Amino acid sequence: MKENLVDPRYTRGKKPNLEFVLVGITLSIITGNTLLSEISRFLNNYHSILRMIVGLPKCKPISYSQLRRIISFLSLTNYQEVQSSYFGWQNTKDDDDWISLDGKELRGTIAKSLGQKRGLNIVYGISQKDKISTAATFYEGAKESEITTVRELLNDLSLASSNLTFDALHTQFETLEKCESAKGSYIAQVKNNQKNLNVESRNHE
């Protein structure tokens, strides 16, 4: 992890150890603890076991505020790449499978006290056949868009050439053209506010 995830903190006072925290976060998520408060409790409850796994000398458990601070500066895209590389899963086209691309805002990531209305979002593809996540990335809701994030995921030709489903948000030329170019198949929703496309789709029923 050291080579792929840069710790931006000053050398002085780099506590707790970044690798130690990230291993704990990963194990926490694997065991079903996905909320920040749940991850924090997991890291504290299994602190001694995690130290043994990482081979870290005696140290204090990470506090909730420290955990928030580390996650705030962490490059989640790089973290995702490290995880994907380690677990070795690769997306392969399956003509019998469909992948649903969707985005969700992560609970607990909106700082309402600071006037924020949007938080951290995850965009992922779920295999309808195996019920596993085939692709995932993150974006800041206040600055970025799910639309452009999905288009970035579709730069992966192995994903773009698959059988995909989208909600109406992604029924846009720039997005679906990526699937067309990769010779993929897709099902996209059409809403009434897309009048011309809605009429055209009904004519083809």
If asked whether residues 110 and 74 sit together in one domain, one would say no
- For the record, the structure tokens of 200 come out as 């055209």
**Residue 49 and residue 22 share a domain:** yes
Residue 116 shares a structural domain with residue 62: no
- 120 has pLDDT over 90: no
**Residues 30, 107 within the same domain:** no
Domain boundary residue among 28, 59, 87?
87
Average pLDDT of 94-99? 84
Percentage of residues in the chain having pLDDT higher than 90: 22
The pTM of this model reads 0.59
139 lies in a domain?
A: yes
Query: Could you tell me if residue 9 is inside a domain?
Result: no
Q: Count the Cβ atoms, other than its own, within 10 Å of residue 172.
A: 16
> For residue 119, is it within any domain?
yes
pLDDT for position 74: 77
Q: Are residues 193 and 107 in the same domain?
A: yes
Q: Is residue 66 part of a domain?
A: yes
> How many domains does the chain contain in total?
2
Q: Domain of residue 197: give its range.
A: 99-203
Across the range 17-39, mean pLDDT stands at 85
Residue 53 located in a structural domain: yes
In-domain check, residue 113: yes
- Reading the block at residue 152, the tokens are 């970035």
Q: Give yes or no for a contact between 162 and 140, defined as CB atoms under 8 angstroms apart.
A: no
Strand order through the sheet with 99-105: 133-140, 120-127, 99-105, 163-166, 185-188
In a domain, 62, yes or no: yes
Asked, for residue 11, whether it belongs to a domain, the answer is: no
